[in-house]
Structure 1
Amino acid sequence: MNNQDIKAKETTKDSKYIQQHLANERTFLAWIRTAISIIGVGFLVTNLHFTMRSTLSPLGNQLATLIGLVSVAVGIVTIILSAAVYVKKIKDINNQTFRPPVISMIFLGVFIIIISLIFGAYFFII
């Protein structure tokens, strides 16, 4: 056996936790899909609002624009945060120091409630 064969058979720290790393990657990709969906919903609401020119109101215009801008911003922030969490989880898995993100889940729940209220206000105003 030469040195290359020995190096190829050595296990890395990452290879000890293959299932956890693959699950982490699937979660990251799910967050990316979610971010794209958030951005898409913002564009959809904005485009639908401005194609209904006969029923436009000044407050509805502002709310539709706000929903579009906030959706794009939230989508971008979601991508950035998911990438940061992905990298952090890689280290936590390898060091066996992973802790569930309780504060993040509470924040996400509150944020979803706020977004739902904004969408509800938009559809009530139209």
Structure 2
Amino acid sequence: MVSPSDHMANERTFLAWVRTGIALIGFGFVIAKFALFLQILKGVKGVGQSVLFGEVMIVLGAAVIVYGLLIYHLTERDLENNTYRSRHVLNSVFAAVVLIVAVSLALLVI
């Protein structure tokens, strides 16, 4: 038997994904805008590598929100059907993508 608290827990988890995505998007804007600010101060033209990093963080934040929404809907469906399906493959693929992006950005800094 599924209780209302199960649905509320699923919603809280979704909202945590949204908060994480918003934090990544905000951090991406800070990186990009600070890089542009430094370029204006130095009088250098052209988009620097930091702007690229900021844009990647913004896209990654949006992807986190989309992923959270997908997991939310899948879990809601499972709760309505009174079933449980492990999402270890989907979670592993998402974690691998995030790690690949993180390592790629780290290698670009070097």
Q: Compute the TM-score of the two structures, normalised by the length of structure 1.
A: 0.67
Deviations 1:52-106 (A, max 9, x none): 334x797x81x32322222222322332332232122112012122212112221
Query: Contact 1:64 / 1:122 at 8 angstroms: preserved in 2?
Result: no
The equivalent position to 2:82 in structure 1, one of 71, 96, 102, is 96
* Cα distance in 2 for residues equivalent to 1:71 and 1:119: 10
Query: Where does residue 39 of structure 1 map in the other structure?
Result: 25
Query: Where does residue 108 of structure 1 map in the other structure?
Result: 94
* Cα distance in 1 for residues equivalent to 2:79 and 2:67: 18
* Cα distance in 1 for residues equivalent to 2:65 and 2:107: 27
Distance 1:97 1:57, change over 3 A: farther
Q: Which has the larger radius of gyration?
A: 1
Q: CA RMSD in A?
A: 2.6
* Cα distance in 1 for residues equivalent to 2:71 and 2:95: 17
Which SS does the other structure have where 2:83 is aligned?
coil
Say whether residues 1:50 and 2:42 are aligned partners: no
Distance 1:42 1:122, change over 3 A: farther
The equivalent position to 1:26 in structure 2, one of 12, 19, 22, is 12
Query: Contact 1:35 / 1:74 at 8 angstroms: preserved in 2?
Result: yes
Distance 1:57 1:102, change over 3 A: farther
Query: Where in structure 2 are there 5+ consecutive unaligned residues?
Result: none
Q: Percent identity?
A: 26
The total of aligned residue pairs comes to: 107
1:68-107 to 2 correspondence within 5 Å? 68-107=54-93
Deviation at 1:122, TM superposition (A): 4.7
* Cα distance in 1 for residues equivalent to 2:71 and 2:99: 23
